[in-house]
Amino acid sequence: MSRDEVTLDFARGGRIGQDEAIYCGEKSAAQIATILDLAEAAGAGLLLTRLDAAKLEALSPGHRGGIDYCPVSRTGFFGPLRPVAAAGDVAILSAGTSDIPVAREAERTLRHAGQQASLFSDIGVAGLWRLTDRLDEIRAHPVVIVVAGMDAALASVVGGLVAGPVICVPTSVGYGVAAGGRAALDAMLASCAPGLSVCNIDNGYGAACAALRLLNAARRVQERP
């Protein structure tokens, strides 16, 4: 693929406070390689999302060696990585272990931006004590991301128990009428817990970006003279 066919947004960080990310899902290994070459030439780091193991293996050894890859979330860090500038601001709640890949995508997106999140896994409402036992820890975080499939009941429960922003991510986990995450999406949108924000199905990246916008806005307010 010609480099002329790719235009990377290296000014995004200065414009909206979030660096360029590359969705690899429908890209070929050759297209990804071209993008990595451009980033390397510019001395820029990239977050790679939906990078499956087969495409990773199809890249050159040099490219593979430059990627910090997480097979669970299918994300990669390429090039310079921001140091951790903040920790403890975001809690990511995974209803079940089947929801962890999406939760990890959110966690890795935040880490790429220099934000260390806390992951609370397998705390769904089928055993409500798993949530209530850790509620004080969760409430210590100003922003909460809830990742849940099936009936997505965890979002409504958490929305009624924490004071800060709650960003919800429905996942495609579930049987039959769960409909690939549509039931979870509808449940989150129809929640009686006021003020929930809802992202697209399996979009852990989008939830992390929403959290970053909230945190960046709060910091700008704090920095005002």
Convert the pLDDT of each residue in 43-86 to its tens digit: 888 999 999 999 999 999 999 999 999 999 999 999 888 888 87
* pLDDT score of 41: 86
Mean pLDDT of 2-24: 77
Degrees to nearest 5, angle at CA 218 with 121 and 149: 25
Residue in 141, 95, 85, 91 with CA at minimum distance from that of residue 117: 91
* pLDDT score of 217: 86
Q: Is pLDDT of 4 > 70?
A: no
* pLDDT score of 12: 81
Q: Rounded distance, CA 101 to CA 149, Å?
A: 12
Range with the poorest average pLDDT among 63-67, 85-89, 107-111: 85-89
Q: What are phi and psi of 80, to 5 degrees?
A: -60, 140
DSSP string, 167-222: EEEE-S-SSGGGGGGHHHHHHHHT-SSTT-EE--TT-HHHHHHHHHHHHHHHHHHH
Contact between 110 and 73 under an 8 Å Cβ cutoff? The reply is: no
Range with the poorest average pLDDT among 5-9, 69-73, 117-121, 193-197: 5-9
Degrees to nearest 5, angle at CA 84 with 99 and 16: 80
Convert the pLDDT of each residue in 152-191 to its tens digit: 999 999 999 999 999 999 999 999 999 999 999 999 999 9
Per-residue pLDDT band at 2 (split at 50, 70, 90): low
Q: Rounded distance, CA 165 to CA 47, Å?
A: 25
Structure tokens at 3: 């480099």
* pLDDT score of 200: 97
Structure tokens at 218: 């709060």
Per-chain mean pLDDT for the chain = 91
Q: Is pLDDT of 1 > 60?
A: no
Place of tokens 């009941």: 153
Q: Rounded distance, CA 44 to CA 81, Å?
A: 9
Structure tokens at 68: 């910090």
* pLDDT score of 114: 92
